[in-house]
Amino acid sequence: MPFIANTDADRAAMLAAVGVQRVEDLFHDVPEAVRYPTLDLPEALSELEAVRELAGMAAENDNLDELTSFLGAGAYRHFIPSVVDFLAGRSEFYTAYTPYQPEVSQGTLQAIFEYQSMVAALTGMDAANASHYDGATATAEAVIMAMNTVRGKRQRVILSATLNPQYREVVRTYTQGMGLEIVEDGGHGQETGPSAAMHSFRALQEMCDKNTICVVVQNPDFLGNMHSPAEMQALADAVHACGALLAVAVDPISLGLFTPPGQYGADIVMGEGQALGIPLGFGGPYLGFFAMREKDVRKSAGRIAGETVDLDDRRGYVLTLSTREQHIKRGRATSNICSNQALMALRAGIYLATMGKQGLRSVAEQCYHKGQYAATKISMIPGYEIVNQGPFFKEFVVRCPVPVADVKAHLLLEWGIIPGYDLTEDYPELGECLLVCVTEMNTAEEIDALAEGLAEAAELMADGFALELELM
């Protein structure tokens, strides 16, 4: 059945209205010889045959149910309680879109409100919005929000070189044409990065001046380094002394164990929420969480759900603030984000409610201690060096005695292990370095196997054996 059933009379009236006699006349610009080309397609399959063929094609791909993974760099494998899939998969949530009509969207609005409340509590901030597409877009929106918040003719945005490289790229893409000067510590806008993995915020403080809109950092940073509350507070004080804002990207799991940014002077806190009950996906969907001070709420992007009462004094939920251009006059909008990640925010909310304070702390502790165990094991292997000199969370940098590409190929082919993320492209000054990620999903046996595989790779190269580079 057609979606819109047009009668012959309907079609004739529409054709007459546009001044043509036949439907074919609408396509007169397309040569008739190519309007209906013969397609070289295989024979048709039954549903059963198609399912078998697609399953066979899918089986050729590797997946983390079959491989051991120490890959992170912004997307993480964490345990997801079954209740998250069950509740988020309910039709009233799964098929819902934007809650334009609060009268019939109370469930969705309440879920968003609860999510916002938990994000605000987790980050130590006053308020949170209903989410962005991912951590990168949330970071870009933080820069734009800071630009709208800071008064005066300021143009400079300072990005830490240990901020996720993809976040930095998206910030530059988002702000094209805005007349901003995007600079990085140590490079004046060039991708030079830190001279060593142990990054000091002193350079950021020295770069901050009266022309600065905001300083954007990450804690723990992209290389896993944890910066102390005192170090972060000193940076916040220096940034605020210049009249600028401090935006901090965080791993939400780390906040189950460490000081939230709201307690050391952050003005905006954002990051990737995929770790909160969202499975890994090749490209998404992900979740950008975003929190701010109450005084800056009206400058934030997206939407905020609020709790109120109706005429009968019954509790209800509404969209308290909608700064998207779809909701208000375009000239007054702070964002042109065309949708939100409400379903992903729902999953994050269910995850946080299910885990609770103690559960989230337990996950963070396991990530921390297993990471320390892995770093200790690897540091004992001749030729390998742990670059991080201070505390780190979940991820750490390993300098390899052989090319990282060879190490990855050997571990994957011979051990079924993805050993980590190759840093040679993003941070070439570090040399042949691998970013290793350890979560609660990695067992001690898997960590031991990683160490054995790394040792074997180095030994093979030392003995003159060529490592197999083709992924069979």
Query: Is the CB of residue 268 less than 8 Å from the CB of residue 142?
Result: yes
Q: How far apart are CA 281 and CA 77, in angstroms?
A: 10
**From the candidate CATH numbers 3.90.1150.10, 3.40.710.10, 1.20.272.10, 3.40.50.980, the one assigned to the domain spanning 68-79+357-462:** 3.90.1150.10
Does domain 82-352 fall into CATH 3.40.50.510? no
Q: What angle is formed at CA 184 by the lines to CA 128 and CA 419, rounded to 5 degrees?
A: 75
Alpha-carbon span 49 to 52, nearest angstrom: 5
Low-confidence ranges of the chain (pLDDT < 70): 1-4, 186-200, 323-340, 462-472
Buried b (16+ CB within 10 A) or exposed e, 260-269: bbbebbbbbb
Domain range summary for the chain, segments of one domain joined by +: 68-79+357-462, 82-352
pLDDT for position 465: 57
Write down the pLDDT at residue 203. Answer: 86
Residue 361 burial (10 A CB sphere; 0-12, 13-18, 19+): middle
Residue 471 CA to its chain's centroid (Å): 28
Q: What pLDDT does residue 195 have?
A: 41
User: Looking at residue 467, what is its pLDDT?
Assistant: 45
User: Does the reported pTM lie above 0.75?
Assistant: yes
Asked if 199 and 160 count as a contact pair (C-beta separation under 8 A), the reply is yes
Residues 435, 366, 284: CA angle, nearest 5 degrees: 55
C-alpha to C-alpha distance for 127 and 298, rounded to whole angstroms: 11
Angle at which helix 342-379 crosses helix 444-462, to 10 degrees, equals 60
**What was the pLDDT predicted at 112?**
93
